[in-house]
């Protein structure tokens, strides 16, 4: 009996490259025990890093799904914080693969939602969520603050998953309180147009802290996001207030994304900052501002907000892509605008 098919997965950031395998015939296709992590600077190309993984593990794969932290433009992607330029055709040829799929890392975060279990999420607020089979149509929103602010959707129709990539992080910031109007005025003097990403990401927390300090007549000096969270944990009132503003604004724009996408089945909070800020999110105005949508407030109160705490959401999403592209009943991703060579 032949071994079940394996697909090589990758989650490529500016610093680290994570590889693993997927079994596209399994209910949970991501094979966590196959995970390996390498420093991208140690390899001249993605293909070289992938070859190293296959040689080190002895794994055999004929297809791949690679999620990259950068914009995928047709056949090519550039890593935002690393000089690798990745070509689907050249990488596929170098690895001798039959098929290779290149996707944006936040699109993979969206796809990961379809494979999450209750143990992979932490509920924020009182609205409850339970996974639904792919046979049930669902629409989810995904929003994630990290170095920037990612926003996406996941549409499940007739047993298929369709990720919706957006640039929702660059929507104009909508202040919801008098203080937030003042913060907007301060940030406008610095940036001109102020997007949600100017507030809701790591550097955005610094922007908020500087603005609330300025409103209090203080100069906070140069601080990193970790300095603000550390001082907040130690009880610094200005840093605690900056975190409160951050969480409230985050909740407001997460609710806006739900309304925009019609994501009545839930919103998943992703990104590197979410696990670190989870206690703050749970004890802040996040959920109040999420629900505070005028005539839609009763509807919003029923929509779950869930922090994704899976340790490898990018690889999990790549595994979901692998099932769609290389599993039974393959989805035509070319028709959906996803670059693939197979």
| CB of 270 closer than 8 Å to CB of 144 | yes
DSSP letter assigned to residue 265? T
15 is in an annotated binding site: yes
Q: What phi, psi does 213 have (nearest 5°)? A: -70, -45
Q: Are strands 6-12 and 63-68 parallel, antiparallel or unpaired?
A: parallel
C-alpha to C-alpha distance for 117 and 110, rounded to whole angstroms: 14
12 is in an annotated binding site: yes
| CB of 94 closer than 8 Å to CB of 277 | no
Enclosing H/E stretch for 267: strand 267-269
285 is in an annotated binding site: no
Q: What phi, psi does 282 have (nearest 5°)? A: -75, -20
C-alpha to C-alpha distance for 97 and 338, rounded to whole angstroms: 18
Q: What 3 state SS string does 216-232 have?
A: CCCCCCCCCHHHHHHHH
C-alpha to C-alpha distance for 267 and 138, rounded to whole angstroms: 11
Q: What phi, psi does 294 have (nearest 5°)? A: 60, -125
Show Cβ contacts of residue 196 under 8 Å, excluding neighbours closer than 6 positions: 149, 168, 169, 170, 171, 172, 173, 249, 253
Helices and strands (H, E) in the chain, number of each type? 11, 15
13 is in an annotated binding site: yes
Binding-site residue ranges for ATP: 10-15
């Amino acid at each position: 009996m032949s071994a079940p098919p394996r697909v090589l997965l990758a989650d490529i950031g500016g610093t680290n490259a994570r590889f693993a395998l997927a079994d596209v015939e399994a209910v949970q296709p991501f094979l966590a025990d196959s995970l390996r992590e390498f420093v991208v600077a140690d390899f001249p190309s993605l293909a070289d890093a992938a070859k190293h993984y296959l040689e080190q593990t002895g794994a055999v794969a004929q297809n791949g799904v690679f999620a990259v932290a950068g914009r995928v433009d047709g056949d090519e992607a550039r890593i935002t914080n690393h000089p690798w330029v990745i070509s689907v055709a050249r990488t596929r040829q170098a690895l001798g693969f039959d098929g290779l799929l290149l996707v944006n890392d936040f699109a993979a975060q969206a796809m990961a939602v379809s494979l999450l279990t209750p143990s992979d999420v932490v509920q924020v607020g009182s609205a409850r969520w339970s996974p639904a089979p792919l046979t049930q149509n669902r629409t989810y929103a995904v929003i994630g603050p990290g170095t920037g602010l990612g926003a996406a959707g996941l549409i499940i129709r007739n047993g298929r998953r369709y990720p919706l990539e957006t640039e929702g992080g660059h929507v104009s910031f909508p202040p919801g309180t008098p203080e937030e109007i003042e913060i907007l005025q301060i940030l406008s003097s610095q940036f001109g147009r102020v997007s949600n990403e100017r507030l809701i990401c790591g550097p955005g927390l610094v922007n908020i802290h500087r603005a609330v300090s300025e409103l209090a007549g203080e100069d906070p000096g140069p601080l990193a996001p970790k300095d603000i969270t550390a001082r907040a944990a130690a009880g610094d009132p200005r840093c605690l207030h900056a975190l409160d503003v951050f969480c409230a604004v985050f909740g407001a724009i997460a609710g806006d994304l739900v309304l925009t996408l019609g994501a009545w089945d839930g919103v998943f909070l992703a990104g590197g900052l979410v696990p670190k800020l989870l206690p703050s999110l749970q004890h802040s105005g996040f959920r109040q501002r999420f629900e505070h949508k005028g005539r839609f407030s009763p509807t919003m109160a029923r929509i779950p907000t869930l922090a994704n705490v899976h340790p490898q959401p990018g690889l999990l999403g790549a595994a979901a892509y692998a099932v769609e592209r290389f599993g039974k009943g393959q989805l035509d991703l070319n028709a959906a605008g996803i670059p693939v060579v197979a």
